[in-house]
Chains A and B, each alone.
Chain A
Amino acid sequence: MSGEVWIFAEHHSGSLLEVTFEILGKGREIADKLKGSLSAILMGRDLEEMTQELIDFGVDCVYLLEGLHPNLYPGQEMVGILCDLIKKCSPDILLMGATSIGAELAPKVAAKLNTGLSAHCIDLDVDEKGHLLQIVPAFGGGVLATITCPDQKPQMATVKSGVLRAGSRGTRNGRTVQEKILGNGESGIKILETFKEEIAEIPLEKAEVVIAGGWGAGGKEQWLQLEELATLLKGAVGATRPPVDEGWAREFQMIGQSGKTVRPKLYIGFGISGVMHHMVGIQDSDFIIAVNSDPEAEIFRMCDFGVEGDLKEILPFLIQKIKEKIKK
């Protein structure tokens, strides 16, 4: 049994992504359990600072693929470069963030290497044989499954941002390996433009308070009240699928299997029925309050404090009372 654990260190605008630190933390833990080592693949330009940061957070070895186009895109060219490196070093485990890049890169790499991959793991561990145990949600998170990939290497998994806890900075010694890039330059993809959307609000994943609304919120008017409540509590607004479909909320506010995972101190759900894939996205919240007019709503079986009532009536009172409290 060997324990070569690798992570794909994704970055954006010169800094490592949050999810990179999260898979790094878990990767370190697994490498220690296996009495192995942890390496990171870092691609792009101006990598020096990020290299040091990876080492500080627990990486033993950083493989540098320098000089690539800054608009790294997981097309055939990048997949080829990455697979060449993996074939050469044959790591046992490879973890990636389930980001918009990672979620496309990981399956392509797995297909090219003919190995197994599990998506959106909510936890990872290793068994006594050194097999990576990959806990994945299915059917909207109503069911969890443990997946292994016993016969192929690397054993691959992706994890969404916010699911694992980031490791901490230590004082390790790591090394770097400069890799030559033998790209064939053959690519059927050309990036023409990059459009940025400015999102000013607190990101959901980092918010200490999450106010979420579902279909039962009932309309744009109530939605504005949820937003007001969130502002008062210095929190962020989250949503289930229907409010996004109705245009009350936006796609990036969606919590759940195809959305985000949150772990605030306080979550308050208004008019949310509590389908599993939403509940899985909020289950790490410290305290869950649910307001719903339907006493049979699923969410009441999974919350700390359930309020049966009409949110249209409750919201104005609650907002008023919080305003009074803040004034004091």
Chain B
Amino acid sequence: MVNLSWLDRPLACLSDPKGFFREEMRIIVCLKPVPDPKYWKNLTIDPVLKVMVREGMPNVINPLDRNALEEALIIKERQGGEVIILSMAPLFSFSVLREALAIGGDRAILLSDRAFAGSDTLATSYILSEAVRRLAPFDLILCGNETIDGGTAQVGPQLSQFLGMEGINFICKVEKFLEGDRKGRSLIVRRKTEHGYLRMEVRLPALLSMVKEANNPRYATFMGILEAEKKEIQVWNRNDLSIDSSRIGLTGSPTKMSNLFMPELKRKKEMVKGTPEVVSNLILEKIHQVGLL
């Protein structure tokens, strides 16, 4: 069972005991190594095992996670503090974490264990939440709104739910901090909707899932790359966390994949080539055939 006992205490307890007088922020950035989209054309499905064959495909930082990292670094520059990179991935993802440290993260935690493999979003969020608990006290968790591989946009909100704190998706701007009252500090953010955006105040600690418009992610500098070599990457496995093993991995995931297939797109595939005038006439003809004009 998840231990939720500490949530019953005032939210300020999740922050440093010195509480609201502390300027410095501790920010956790969740980051996922994803297969480089440049190579997705080469993706195939193993016909027997029904799994994706992604051998030889290099991993990169999930694009929106760069926005999460950027926001963390902006806040750190303003308020001071620490930026911790948290990632659940196979051990070969070390280089991706090293890049995040070169960009500006202070240290990184890699959650890696065979038992984690096959976790769906629920199991993944649960594992991450246990790691976050070990990293407490903290002020803010930042995630990319979605990944480019799975693209569910579920892990952010599920992680916030497991931690029993507020989590907000679609953050397009972090405006400012409000030095709080007895309840602790809060943050003013903008959240995109279909119709525009909401300007909201959220009490810390909280989780924010960032979209692209939020900022312009920086890249690693040469100095950053050198410094990253000295920074620490800790690897935690299930024994480092107080985890209920029935809730992780393939067996602990409520969703099961029963079939994997490539979509069939059946079309006429008629091809033409010619002078601009000729092809324009042909396009016009087709527009007409469809019943328009």
A residues within 8 Å of B by Cβ? Answer: 12, 71, 73, 75-76, 79, 99-101, 103-104, 106-108, 110-112, 114-120, 133, 137-152, 187-197, 208-209, 233, 251, 257-258, 265-266, 268, 275-276, 279-280, 283, 286-289, 291, 300-310, 313-314, 316-318, 320-322, 325-326
Contact = CB atoms under 8 A, between A and B. Distances in A.
A100 B193 contact: yes
A304 B191 CA distance: 40
A300 B198 CA distance: 41
B158 interface: yes
A195 B197 contact: yes
Given A111-B157, A280-B263, A305-B268, A188 B45 contact: no
A206 B125 CA distance: 36
A146 B201 CA distance: 39
Interface in B128-168: 146, 148-158, 160-162, 164-168
Nearest to B197: A195
B274 interface: yes
A321 B259 contact: no
Interface string B269-284: 1111110110111111
Contact of A287 (B259, B271, B290): B290
A196 B195 contact: yes
A20 to B, nearest CB: 13
Interface in B180-228: 186, 188, 191-203, 206, 213
Dominant SS at the A interface? mixed
Given A307-B283, A317-B276, A189 B268 contact: no
B112 interface: no
A192 B199 contact: yes
Contacts of B49: none
B181 to A, nearest CB: 13
Binding site secondary structure of chain B: mixed
A71 B197 CA distance: 12
B150 A194 contact: no
Nearest to B268: A304
B258 interface: yes
A149 to B, nearest CB: 5
5 contacts: A99-B194, A108-B158, A190-B200, A258-B146, A318-B280
A100 B194 CA distance: 7
B270 A148 contact: no
B265 A302 contact: yes
A127 B290 CA distance: 37
Contacts of A196: 195-196
A117 B262 contact: no
Nearest to B194: A100
Contacts of A151: 254
B161 A79 contact: yes
Contacts of A310: 276
Nearest to B175: A192
A136 to B, nearest CB: 8
A116 B120 contact: yes
A303 B269 contact: yes
B202 A321 contact: no
Interface in B222-260: 253-260
Contacts of A99: 194
B251 to A, nearest CB: 10
B284 A258 contact: no
A300 B293 contact: no
